[in-house]
Amino acid sequence: MYAICILPLSIVRWIGFMQEDKGGTNSVPSAATLTVFSLFQLSGLFNVILLITRKPDSGLFGSRRPPPMPPGPQPLEMGPMPVPQIAGAPL
């Protein structure tokens, strides 16, 4: 993803540099420069999309399920505790 975002911008800039180095002017259309610069600026969005699609259960995007219980004896399920009655007390 990094190469896809960086390579077009590098190519456009090197073309402009080579034209200026040979004594000419930079004739790369500004629309091309703006397009590849916009693609470069979207690299963060592309990284988030890659993170969500390739590792959906990591980081902030993971589900919040409890870890599985280890094998072995399981804890007892206890119901409500009975309240002891004091002799002579009203119910």
Q: Sketch the domain layout of the chain as residue ranges.
A: 2-61
CA 20 remoteness from chain centre: 40
For 4-36, what is each residue's pLDDT tens digit?
Answer: 889 999 999 999 888 888 888 888 898 999 999
Q: What is the DSSP string of 23-50?
A: TS---S-HHHHHHHHHHHHTHHHHHHHH
Q: What is the pLDDT of residue 72?
A: 73
The region, left, alpha or beta by phi > 0 then psi within -120 to 50, assigned to residue 84 is beta
Cβ within 8 Å of residue 91, ≥6 positions away: 85
Query: Sorting pLDDT into bands at 50, 70 and 90, what band is 58?
Result: confident
Higher model confidence: residue 73 or residue 44? 44
- Using CA atoms in the order 56, 60, 64, 69, what is the torsion angle rounded to 10 degrees? 80
Share of the chain above pLDDT 70, in %: 82
